């Protein structure tokens, strides 16, 4: 989040213009009605979305920003009960996990992920972010800066006002990079670089809009999914693809090993998952307690034979479904490199089939 007092005029104009950029993106030929803001801070675009009756989901890596944004949502909801806004403590690198948040994802809505204020150029891991975006399968709007010298100098001046020292601007094939002694690593990426990256991950080439002298926006549409197929439907198709899975769950209360029991589970429909492999969502026909530790042997063979993938995790959330089944959200522990590799190729396989 930024302190308005350190904004230079050019940056203030750029930030204000992001409102118009969003309005244009939502009103053009697109039918978006759900804004997902990455690096939402206090929820800068929450009110923008609420005023226009769009759904809003914000994510931020800093938990107290999320608390702050939640307090703002609560206060707005006190006067407008229709407001459908949610905020989550997630990173850009794990944005696909938002699909586990039923409040945010169960409504049939046409979503767009928005990276304001060059948040895309400041993520810690570009590869994790793009993978997670691919797994989420929504359109993406990136607000960043032009890479010419004059725009880069304006960025640099702003970072200086923020207190960063020894700022160094360097030009690379992939974009204009500004670093500082404090560890700032901020890219304004080149079109060619982003286009290639997104192309490789299932997106169409972007519409590019220059705005507010220094700003540049890239609007990527996700093309693997037909636009009329909603995420719910998409995950249903994934579920079909893994119906032949046999999953054995070992319940382990961890405090008393003797209570551990082998529990061959009938996986009703699904393993849906977060491709960044921090957690899994599994639909089962038996209830468990939140907090339970599970040891799982996943096998892709109907018979349960073949080399199983060993996973250990803890149930962080249970959702009772209308059909009497249960969704378990399981946070995975210490995935070994081997299991991670196996799981990734296993999930990639499902994705190809679905
Ligand atoms: C410059 S602020 C932008 C805040 C707000 N979206 C805006 O445009 O005013 C950057 C925000 O991104 C958050 N952030 C930084 N790295 C992040 C990451 N990898 N994933 C999610 N949020 C991140 C910070 O905590 C901060 O709230």
The model carries a pTM of 0.69
Determine which residue's CA is closest to atom 1 belonging to ligand 1. Answer: 1
Q: For the chain, how many residues are written? A: 354
Q: Is 121 in the pocket of ligand 1 (CB under 6 A)?
A: no
pLDDT tens-digit profile of 175-207?
Answer: 999 999 999 999 999 999 999 999 988 899 999
Q: Is 65 in the pocket of ligand 1 (CB under 6 A)?
A: yes
- Calculate how far, in angstroms, residue 92's C-alpha sits from the geometric centre of ligand 1: 9
User: How far apart, in whole angstroms, are the C-alpha atoms of residue 349 and residue 346?
Assistant: 5
Phi–psi pair at 78, nearest 5 degrees? -60, -30
Atom of ligand 1 nearest to the CA of 58: 6
Residue closest via CA to ligand 1's atom 14 equals: 39
Helix-helix angle 337-353:231-241, to 10 degrees:
110
Whether the CB of 113 sits within 6 Å of ligand 1: no
pLDDT at 174: 96
Q: What is the pLDDT of residues 238-284, one digit of tens each?
A: 333 333 344 555 554 454 443 444 454 545 444 544 545 677 777 67
Question: For ligand 1, is residue 117 a contact (CB within 6 Å)?
Answer: yes
C-alpha 38 – ligand 1 centre gap (Å): 7
Query: Kindly report the CA angle at 185 between 180 and 188, in degrees rounded to 5?
Result: 120
Residues 42, 39: Cα–Cα separation, whole Å:
9
Q: Is the pLDDT of residue 127 over 80?
A: yes
Strands (E), the chain: 34-38, 55-59, 85-88, 111-115, 139-145, 168-172, 175-179, 185-189, 207-211, 215-220, 246-252, 261-265, 267-273, 279-284, 293-299, 309-320, 326-332
Count CB atoms within 10 A of the CB of residue 138: 21
Q: Mind listing the domains of the chain with CATH numbers?
A: 4-228 (3.40.50.150), 237-353 (2.40.10.220)
Q: Is 44 in the pocket of ligand 1 (CB under 6 A)?
A: yes
**Poorest-pLDDT segment among 1-10, 192-201, 303-312, 313-322:** 303-312
Q: Does the beta carbon of 176 sit less than 6 angstroms from any atom of ligand 1? A: no
Spacing of C-alpha 142 from chain mean position: 14
Average pLDDT of the chain to the nearest whole number:
80
Q: Which atom of ligand 1 is nearest to the CA of 117?
A: 8
CA–centroid distance, 42 to ligand 1, in Å, is: 9
Give distance in angstroms: CA of 119 to centre of ligand 1: 6
Q: How far is CA 203 from CA 157, 224, 225, 231, 278, in A?
A: 34, 7, 10, 16, 24
């Amino acid at each position: 989040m930024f302190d308005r007092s350190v904004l230079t005029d050019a940056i203030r104009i750029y930030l204000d213009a992001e409102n118009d950029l969003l309005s244009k993106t939502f009103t053009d030929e697109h039918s978006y009605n759900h804004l997902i803001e990455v690096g939402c801070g206090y929820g800068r675009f929450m009110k923008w979305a609420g005023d226009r009756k769009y759904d809003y989901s914000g994510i931020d890596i800093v938990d107290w920003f999320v608390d702050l944004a939640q307090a703002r949502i609560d206060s707005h909801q006190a006067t407008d009960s229709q407001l459908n806004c949610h905020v989550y403590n997630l990173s850009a690198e794990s944005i696909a996990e938002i699909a586990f948040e039923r409040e945010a994802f169960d409504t049939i809505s046409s979503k767009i992920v928005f990276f304001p204020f060059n948040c895309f150029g400041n993520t810690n891991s570009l590869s994790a972010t793009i993978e997670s975006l691919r797994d989420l399968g929504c359109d993406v709007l990136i607000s960043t800066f032009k890479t010419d010298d004059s725009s880069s100098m304006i960025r640099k001046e702003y970072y200086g006002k923020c207190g960063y020292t020894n700022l160094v601007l360097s030009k690379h094939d992939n974009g204009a990079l500004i670093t500082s002694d404090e560890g700032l690593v901020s890219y304004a990426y080149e079109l060619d670089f982003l286009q290639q990256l997104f192309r490789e991950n299932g997106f169409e080439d972007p519409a590019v809009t220059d705005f507010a002298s220094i700003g540049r926006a890239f609007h990527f549409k996700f093309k693997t999914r037909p636009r009329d197929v909603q995420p719910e439907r998409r995950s249903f198709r994934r579920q079909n693809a893994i119906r032949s899975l046999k999953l054995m769950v070992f319940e382990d209360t961890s405090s008393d090993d003797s209570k551990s029991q082998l529990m061959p589970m009938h996986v009703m429909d699904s393993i849906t998952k977060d491709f960044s492999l921090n957690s899994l969502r599994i639909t089962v026909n038996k209830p468990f307690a939140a907090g339970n530790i599970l040891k799982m042997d996943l096998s892709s063979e109907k018979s349960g034979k073949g080399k199983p993938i060993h996973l250990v995790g803890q149930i962080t959330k249970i959702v009772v479904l209308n059909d009497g089944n249960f969704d378990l959200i399981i946070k995975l522990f210490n995935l070994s490199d081997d299991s991670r590799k196996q799981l990734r190729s296993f999930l990639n396989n499902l994705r190809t089939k679905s």
